[in-house]
Structure 1
Amino acid sequence: MTDSPTKPARSAVDEVPPPGRLLVLGMQHVLVMYAGCVAVPLIVGSALGLDTRTIGLLVNADLVVAGIITLLQTLGVGKILGVRLPVVTGATFAAVTPMILIGQNFGLPGVYGSMIASGIFGVLIAVPFSSIIRFFPPVVTGSVITIIGLSLISAAAGLIAGQDPTAPDYGDLTGLALAGGIVVLIVLITRFVRGFVGQIAVLTGLLVGALVAIPLGLTDFSGVASAPWFGMAAPFLFGPPEFPVAGVVSMCVVMLVIFAESTADMLAVGEMTGEDLPPKRIARGLAADGLSGVLGGVLNSFPDTIFAQNVGLVQLTGVRSRYVPAVAGAALLVLGLVPKFGEVVASLPGPVVGGAGLVMFATVTAVGIRTLHKVHFEGSDNLMIVAISLGVGMLPVVAPSFYAQVPGNLQIVIGSSITSCAIVAFALNLLFHHVPWGRPHGTTPPGEDGGSAAPTQEVR
């Protein structure tokens, strides 16, 4: 009698926990990523001078798209979309500064048209990008992640102190004290609390800060009562999309940055779960990110990337099932269909959002530095790549009028600290590590100096 073939063991990624545990673990993922997810519409809306009701609609649209893309990434659509790993997606900080610049020059129709174009670009290049990851090594991704955090710290300062330095209430001490107290609370929770509560320190700081702001007279939730319970904004809320060349180029650069972030996180999750990640599977995950740009442009939202804090939660809990973050995606989608919820978030005082945002953006900066720590600097040209990339990227941050005389279209591309840093870092990496001509004798070849390694994980 011959033995029957052994049935292959089911992958941990495909296991389905019991319903109760599935729901609790899924909501845990929502809580961990929520503050970072809603920060993007709050910052962009505030910088573009939108009213509270409109910002609330952006928050809801942001959650809807994050939920849809998370479901696509976890459950997949055949062999077309989705990496089918336990990941959660949300609005990326990489798009904040470029979107603000495009909005200031071309309005929101230009923002969303540029986003749609970049999303189509992302879908088209997902397969080739998955095969050229070596052109986005830590020396490039680390520089860009660092500049993302540094550039957004000014946005946090604007939320805390105000957007107009000439206003009589600019830098009001009450707002400064409230933001400082939130930072201190987040630090104390992180230092003395472990486990899940420690994971949601930023969200806790946001909630406590909002409660403290009520007796201080800094909150105005009057618009919540008139907001409907269910519904969502109509597609193309701000009018037909427009496609300014400079905006499209800038957002396409952002899409490349998103791809580098998501690739790093997919590789990290693949290592945790023991899943094989050939280029085709990575390409399906990147295509879903590209689709987020198209969907976000239609639904008044933002392009998404895989959130690395949720990758950390997978490591912390040891739960590898992709159905857990799928529940998180469904929860985000439901939350996005409740306009009252978005109105509450949009009504949070600037100092509260800014205090929590300061910690998030500074953390992004620190993670960029940690990524650069993986780069080999001795005996290579990597120090020059990082120095020039960060220097060029910081120019519009420390001197906002630096490119005032540059033509408007070009100003949008080079006036964004993120896109300018990404372009320079990518070009210098090619020059120093992939162009063979004129290489000095004894220079370390690519692949041995950190210049051609796979990108490393980013944390939000």
Structure 2
Amino acid sequence: MSQAPDAPASAPQPPTVSARHPADEVLPPARLGLLGLQHVLVMYTGCVTVPLVFGGAAGLGTSTVGLLINADLLVAGLVTLLQALGVGKVLGVRLPVVAGATFSAVTPMILIAGEYGVQAVYGSMIAAGVFGLLVAVPFARAVRFFPPLVSGSVITVIGLSLIGVATGLIAGRDSTAEDYAAPGRLALAGGIVLLIVLVSRFTRGFLSQLGVLLGLVVGTLVAVPMGLTDFSSVGGADWFGLASPFHFGAPHFPIAAVISMCVVMLVTFTESTADMLAVGEMTGRPLSRQDLARGLAADGVSGVLGGVMNGFLDTVFAQNVGLVGMTKVRSRYVAAVAGGVLLVLALVPKLGEVVASLPGPVVGGAGLVMFATVTSVGISTLRKVEFEGTGNLLIVAVSIGAGMLPVVAPSIYHAFPTWVQIIGGSAITSTTVTAFLLNLLFHHTPGRKKAEPGTEAVPTAVPAT
């Protein structure tokens, strides 16, 4: 009897194609949790520094600053979840990005608080959030008007303008006080800077990214015997609680404050755009304009949420972009876990009170490094710009000069109307407007000079501030 031939034992099989992109991969729970926590540790210091600096400069009490910290973490957690998981075709870039408070808004917020009060700070933030939602799509299409020439100038001035804030925390804000710029305060801040440098120099990998956090912890321990700490308010804080909406009362909307904060939103968009493009390249999922617009819209949501919940404008944190590059873990669910951890931390007011009670020299020493790093990043971004025979050197010079005027002479616009003082008195706003308009004049008008690298290109990755 004849038999049908058996099928070949090693018949070729079609290649298995995974339908799931690495960005959509769900890792085992233990690994997912550990990697998410790592993202939080990397960004936590930068995130909470913003409410610490703003609260101190605005003269808010320790308990109020603690509330701001919890609100800050709440907004950061919610926006991170939006970015990682997305909401339909409306919100979220759906990449492993982590959101946190941007330094770009600090100086304008301080100016607005001094002129109009904290209610105006959060009113203008809500308005800027709505503005961000409205312009997310147009900005994604017009991102070429915010090249490294513009973003580099702005980022450089952001860092420079905040150096004075760090100085005030280190030395004290009252120059007539007995302990103003006391040697002990300066030595403590200097020691923290040295520790951060040594950690960066002699450690590797994940530990090398925790220098600022270690500086805060060690600096606080050293400050205890120096009599520079006061944690008396921590005992009265609740273990669990949620920041209440409109803690400072009904929001106000002064036009000058709104304009200034809307400009900050555009700066935030520039930062987030650069970082989202970088993560898109790292994960092998290049962004379309629609993807970018959804990610920017989430930044707009942060303005609305921050204004309502007493939080801050958020941007994509480049510290976490660097962590994605270092670990090669591309799953967006790791970022979602980080968002969940931030939400849990936001529900512990006692933790916010502890952070708010950190001594000024400790926060100032760590802040000095962080703010100066922002300036360095701006300078690095400007390296992408072609200066020879393009007029770009003049654009950078005039933009930084205009931005630094209110830094070195805070009352320079005192004779002008209040709205001019708020807009012109912000180094970030002045630099952004100047660089943007000069870039249009030199490179986007009839008879313009030949476009050069750094004037037409989409911004590359820059750290968030």
Q: Bin the TM-score by the shorter chain.
A: over 0.9
Which residue of structure 2 aligns with residue 43 of structure 1? 53
Which residue of structure 1 aligns with residue 215 of structure 2? 205
Q: 1:31-110, aligned counterparts within 5 Å?
A: 31-110=41-120
Counterparts of 2:342 and 2:101 in 1: how far apart (Å)?
Answer: 12
CA drift at 1:8: 4.6
Q: Which of residues 381, 389, 398 is equivalent to 1:379?
A: 389
Which residue of structure 2 aligns with residue 299 of structure 1? 309
1:356 and 2:360 are equivalent in the alignment: no
CA drift at 1:457: 1.6
Q: Which of residues 29, 36, 46 is equivalent to 1:26?
A: 36
Which residue of structure 1 aligns with residue 414 of structure 2? 404
Counterparts of 1:421 and 1:50 in 2: how far apart (Å)?
Answer: 28
What is the CA deviation profile of residues 167-191 of structure 1, one whole-angstrom value per residue up to 9, with x for unaligned ones?
Answer: 2221011111000000000000000
The 8 Å contact of residues 141 and 289 in structure 2, kept in 1 or not, is answered as: yes
CA drift at 1:450: 1.8
The 8 Å contact of residues 233 and 299 in structure 1, kept in 2 or not, is answered as: yes
Match for 2:287: what amino acid?
L
CA drift at 1:361: 0.3
Counterparts of 1:13 and 1:201 in 2: how far apart (Å)?
Answer: 29
CA drift at 1:456: 2.1
1:120 and 2:130 are equivalent in the alignment: yes
Q: 1:416-435, aligned counterparts within 5 Å?
A: 416-435=426-445
1:332 and 2:323 are equivalent in the alignment: no
Which residue of structure 2 aligns with residue 141 of structure 1? 151
Match for 1:455: what amino acid?
P
Which residue of structure 1 aligns with residue 459 of structure 2? 455
Secondary structure of 1:187's aligned partner: helix
Counterparts of 1:451 and 1:436 in 2: how far apart (Å)?
Answer: 15
CA drift at 1:23: 0.8
CA drift at 1:17: 1.2
Secondary structure of 2:290's aligned partner: helix
CA drift at 1:410: 1.2
Which residue of structure 2 aligns with residue 415 of structure 1? 425
Which residue of structure 1 aligns with residue 9 of structure 2? none
Secondary structure of 1:218's aligned partner: coil
Match for 1:179: what amino acid?
A
Match for 1:410: what amino acid?
V
Alignment gaps of 5+ in structure 2? 1-12
1:367 and 2:377 are equivalent in the alignment: yes
CA drift at 1:435: 0.6
CA drift at 1:335: 0.3
The TM-score, its normalising length taken from structure 1, stands at: 0.97
The 8 Å contact of residues 377 and 449 in structure 1, kept in 2 or not, is answered as: no
Counterparts of 2:243 and 2:196 in 1: how far apart (Å)?
Answer: 34
Counterparts of 2:182 and 2:256 in 1: how far apart (Å)?
Answer: 37
Identity of aligned residues (%): 68
Counterparts of 1:138 and 1:347 in 2: how far apart (Å)?
Answer: 38
Secondary structure of 1:239's aligned partner: coil
Match for 1:52: what amino acid?
T
Alignment gaps of 5+ in structure 1? none
Counterparts of 1:182 and 1:5 in 2: how far apart (Å)?
Answer: 55
Counterparts of 2:22 and 2:394 in 1: how far apart (Å)?
Answer: 44
Match for 2:240: what amino acid?
F
The 8 Å contact of residues 146 and 366 in structure 1, kept in 2 or not, is answered as: yes
Secondary structure of 1:70's aligned partner: helix
Match for 1:359: what amino acid?
V
Match for 1:421: what amino acid?
T
Which residue of structure 2 aligns with residue 277 of structure 1? 287
Secondary structure of 2:247's aligned partner: coil
Secondary structure of 2:315's aligned partner: strand
Secondary structure of 1:409's aligned partner: helix
Q: Which of residues 232, 241, 246 is equivalent to 2:242?
A: 232
What is the CA deviation profile of residues 257-306 of structure 1, one whole-angstrom value per residue up to 9, with x for unaligned ones?
Answer: 00000000000000101103110010000000000000000000000000
Match for 2:457: what amino acid?
A
CA RMSD of aligned residues (A): 1.4
Which has the larger Rg? 2
Counterparts of 2:19 and 2:130 in 1: how far apart (Å)?
Answer: 38
Q: Which of residues 237, 256, 268 is equivalent to 2:266?
A: 256
The 8 Å contact of residues 29 and 310 in structure 1, kept in 2 or not, is answered as: yes
Which residue of structure 2 aligns with residue 247 of structure 1? 257
Match for 1:364: what amino acid?
V
1:164 and 2:174 are equivalent in the alignment: yes
Question: How many aligned positions are there?
Answer: 454
The 8 Å contact of residues 57 and 232 in structure 1, kept in 2 or not, is answered as: no
Secondary structure of 1:90's aligned partner: strand
What is the CA deviation profile of residues 82-114 of structure 1, one whole-angstrom value per residue up to 9, with x for unaligned ones?
Answer: 000000000000000000000001101100000
Counterparts of 2:107 and 2:416 in 1: how far apart (Å)?
Answer: 18
The 8 Å contact of residues 84 and 333 in structure 2, kept in 1 or not, is answered as: yes
What is the CA deviation profile of residues 341-400 of structure 1, one whole-angstrom value per residue up to 9, with x for unaligned ones?
Answer: 000000000000000000000000000000000101012111011000000000111111
The 8 Å contact of residues 413 and 420 in structure 2, kept in 1 or not, is answered as: no
Match for 1:129: what amino acid?
F
Secondary structure of 1:305's aligned partner: strand
Counterparts of 2:31 and 2:454 in 1: how far apart (Å)?
Answer: 41
Secondary structure of 1:422's aligned partner: helix
The 8 Å contact of residues 206 and 352 in structure 1, kept in 2 or not, is answered as: yes
Counterparts of 2:375 and 2:453 in 1: how far apart (Å)?
Answer: 23
Match for 2:376: what amino acid?
A
Which residue of structure 1 aligns with residue 5 of structure 2? none
CA drift at 1:6: 6.4
Counterparts of 1:406 and 1:175 in 2: how far apart (Å)?
Answer: 38
